[in-house]
Amino acid sequence: MKLLLTILFLVINSFAKNDAVILLYHHVSDTTPASTSVSIDIFKKHLDYLDDNNFTVLPLEEVLFALDKGENIPPKSVVITFDDAYESILHNALPLLKEKEYPFTVFINTKSVESRYRNILSWDELKILQKNNATIANHTHTHTHMVRFFKNESKKHWVKRIQEDIQMAQKIIKDKLGTVSNLFAYPYGEYNEDVKKILKELGYFGVAQQSGPISVGFNKFEVPRFPMAMNYSNMKRFTTSINSKQLPLKNMKIGSKILREGETNKNIFSFELTKGNYIKRNLACFSNSGEKLDLKIEGMKVSMALPSWKAGRKKINCTVPSKTFKGVFYWYSQLWLIKNSNGSWYKE
């Protein structure tokens, strides 16, 4: 009987399409800016939670390749990533990752490494990460704002510049570290349709910074990750994030991804839900400031006006609780870039 149940479980599991959650870290430190940091203690608690609750930590490339092919991955799959080659990854994060034997990915902008910027790892230090289950991947050469044109720059010249920035980083990584992947993380998490087109032509997965899990059918040029920093890294938020599932939807319409102050609330964001194990009446969407948005729901179609946003990177997160699993939410997030009212870009 026990054998029969085991076989039945394996058969059922082979047809299930499991979700994966990708985590995004920058600094693991008690002294770096809070907006991009988690403390060493919190990072340890994150890893301990994964270990204690039987999560499977996998390399990013393995997860993206499998799901892109429609293949299954283990239940409770998690990926750990870092943006920018900060020293705290080596000194504070690596000892904890080594203890668990967890793989991870570090997205680097190669100019900062080549120029030996303060608090940035050297090539020799990156090789140490490589020897300890790290994949070093492309984050451009210059860490440019990819969607922005230089003054008097034509679109043709912009495309050439962005392509060269990506390709230069890839060449340097291969020359210095001996291996490359087709993983790419957008600097600042900024992208639009033109940037995605460039990545598609160059053959990369586009890894973003808006939150959400992924499963079969994910958008390979808008790969979501849960940012871990400030209040978003506390254990309550972490456990909610790590147990989330991809919200099943289709026919998404976001309009222009780049808008100006004063015109955002004239734009509509809409999508159509598909069937899933969730409580539709409890669907809720929030701006990244926590404002709950008014939803218009007609059958499976959902629409909402964008908030009256100020300039900056803005997001809407939509969540709905599972019917059968307490504390599990289906999750989707979308990004917009809001310019100043005069058309100029916001400052960092």
pLDDT at 7 over 90: no
DSSP state string for 81-104: EEES-BHHIIIIIHHHHHHHT--E
pLDDT at 11 over 70: no
Task: Check residue 348 and give its pLDDT.
Answer: 83
pTM: 0.94
Which residues, 6+ apart, have CB-to-CB distance to 58 below 8 Å?
A: 20, 73, 74, 77, 78, 79, 103
Considering only residues 228 and 2, tell me which one the structure prediction assigns the higher pLDDT. Answer: 228
Could you tell me the fold of the domain covering 250-339?
Answer: Immunoglobulin-like (2.60.40)
- In this structure, what token pair is assigned to residue 157? 């010249």
What superfamily in CATH does domain 17-245 come from?
Glycoside hydrolase/deacetylase (3.20.20.370)
3-class secondary structure, 334 = strand
Answer yes or no: are the C-beta atoms of 58 and 20 closer than 8 Å: yes
For residue 223, the tally of other CB atoms under 10 A from its CB is: 26
pLDDT digits (tens, 9 = 90+) for 152-193: 999 999 999 999 999 999 999 999 999 999 999 999 999 999
* 327 torsion bin: left (phi>0), alpha (psi -120 to 50), beta (else): left
Q: What is the mean pLDDT of the chain?
A: 94
pLDDT at 332 over 60: yes
Residue with tokens 């992924």: 214
Domain spans in the chain, listed from the N-terminal domain onward: 17-245, 250-339
Segment 270-294 mean pLDDT: 96
Segment 231-241 mean pLDDT: 94
Q: Do domains 17-245 and 250-339 have the same CATH topology?
A: no
Task: Check residue 13 and give its pLDDT.
Answer: 41
Q: How many CA atoms lie within 13 A of 115 on its CB side?
A: 9
10 Å CB burial of residue 169 (0-12, 13-18, 19+) is buried
Torsions phi, psi for 255 (to 5 deg) = 70, -150
227 DSSP assignment: E
